[in-house]
Amino acid sequence: MWILLIGLYLFSVYFLSVLERRMVYKKWNFAAPFSTLAFLLVQEDVKPHQRDRIFYETAPVLFIAAALMAVGVLPFAKGFIITGLSTGALFINAAFAYIMVAIVMAGWAPNGVYSMIGGWRFLAQLIAYSMPIVMAITATVMRAESMSLVNIVASQTHLWNIIYQPVGFVLFYVAAMALAFLPPFDLPLAPGELAEGVWAEFTGVKLLLFRLGRLMLILSLSLAVTVLFLGGWEGPLLPGFAWTFIKTILVAASFFLCGQYVPRVQHDDLLEWSWKLLTPLALFNILWVGILLLL
């Protein structure tokens, strides 16, 4: 059971990295993740001058740990879960908040201008976009009358949340992309402008931890979209975990696809949209779900 679960997570991460590569280079390459892994493991560890030693070492570890904690409470199927918390819906928010702490630490530590700009940018970005995330989750919790993620899936047996609260889905989807700093929201990295920003000064194993953590983060967010809005493991014929896997991969593929066709958003516009548009919409969504529940 445990081996199966860990195997499923590892395979999902592997498949996501293959998928991301396919989306960028338009070519399937199933060996690429392994060669990148081998390359980063042996790459020379170049350390910047006058860095903050503690943060430089801990930031990548905190980043991947936060992503792993989020994955740890998200169920793949009934009983297919590492820890079933009864405050799961709140816990994933807590884990995502530490992604931001890790990125701010990583931006500060190397004593470089580009990384620092990237780090502080992500602080503003995450605080703005965690509002729609938290409020969209709140609306799903309201419907399930429970913060346990298993119960949230159970509440969608008859009607998925994507139909019950479409506004919440759109908010969560957009905010999830901003949280995983995927293009068009890749402001902390911003290749071409900040030259990989936050990660610019990291090499070797530390960069590997960041990249793996990012894949884990994308996995956890697409899994969260599946669990909260797409009915989790509900589906005919196939076993539950297969449905979750298919839905999760499709959500992740749609994330990558959006990033390809939408240009990067300007920083001030990004914040303005969140505070002036998405946050009021999220409040409206809570009202909407409340009215539906009372009818």
Partner 1 sequence: MNMERIIFLLLFGSTAIWFAWRVFMTKSMIRSALSLLASMVAIGILFLVMQAEFLGVLHIMMMATEMTIMAIFMMMFMMDPGGMGDMDMSHQKKYSSVFAFLSGASYAAAILFTQWPITADAVPAPAQQNHDLGIELMQRSMMIFETAGVSILVAMIAATATALSFNSVNK
Binding site for partner 1 (CB under 8 A): 50, 52, 54-55, 85-87, 90-91, 93-94, 97-98, 100-101, 104-105, 108, 111, 120, 123, 126-127, 130, 146-148
DSSP per-residue codes, 95-164: HHHHHHHHHHHHHHTT--HHHHHHHHHHHHHHHHHHHHHHHHHHHHHHHHTSS-HHHHHHTTSSS-HHHH
State the minimum distance, in angstroms, from the CB of residue 179 to partner 1: 13
**Residue 90: CB partners within 8 Å, gap ≥ 6?**
147
Return the bridge partners of 80, or none.
77
- CA–CA gap between residue 266 and residue 32 (Å, rounded): 32
State which residue, 35 or 86, has the beta carbon closest to partner 1: 86
Count other C-beta atoms under 10 Å from residue 159's C-beta: 11
Q: State the nearest-atom distance from the C-beta of 148 to partner 1, in Å.
A: 7
Nearer residue to partner 1 within complex by CB, 52 or 234: 52
Give least dist CB 142 to partner 1, A: 11
Question: How does DSSP classify residue 278?
Answer: I
Cβ closest to partner 1, residue 16 vs residue 95: 95
Rounded least distance, CB 71 to partner 1, Å: 16
Smallest separation (angstroms) from partner 1 to the CB of 41: 29
Q: Judged by CB, which is closer to partner 1: 94, or 292?
A: 94
| Closest approach of partner 1 to the CB of residue 55, in Å | 8
150 near 84, Cβ under 8 Å?
Answer: yes
Q: Which is nearer to partner 1, 15 or 185 (CB)?
A: 185
Taking the complex as a whole, the smallest distance from the CB of residue 182 to partner 1 amounts, in Å, to: 21
In contact, 124 and 185? CB cutoff 8 Å: no
Q: Which DSSP helix (H) or strand (E) runs through 212?
A: helix 204-229
Between residues 22 and 51, which has the closer beta carbon with respect to partner 1?
Answer: 51
**3-class DSSP assignment, residue 232:** coil
Nearer to partner 1, 119 or 183 (CB): 119
Residue 271 has which token pair?
Answer: 């914040």
CB atoms under 10 Å from CB of 177, counted, come to 23
Q: Which C-beta is closer to partner 1: that of 121 or that of 214?
A: 121
How many Cβ atoms are within 10 Å of 138's Cβ, its own excluded?
19
Question: Residue 62 CB, nearest distance to partner 1 (Å)?
Answer: 10
Tokens matching residue 1: 């059971």
**Residue 220 near residue 67, CB atoms below 8 Å:** yes
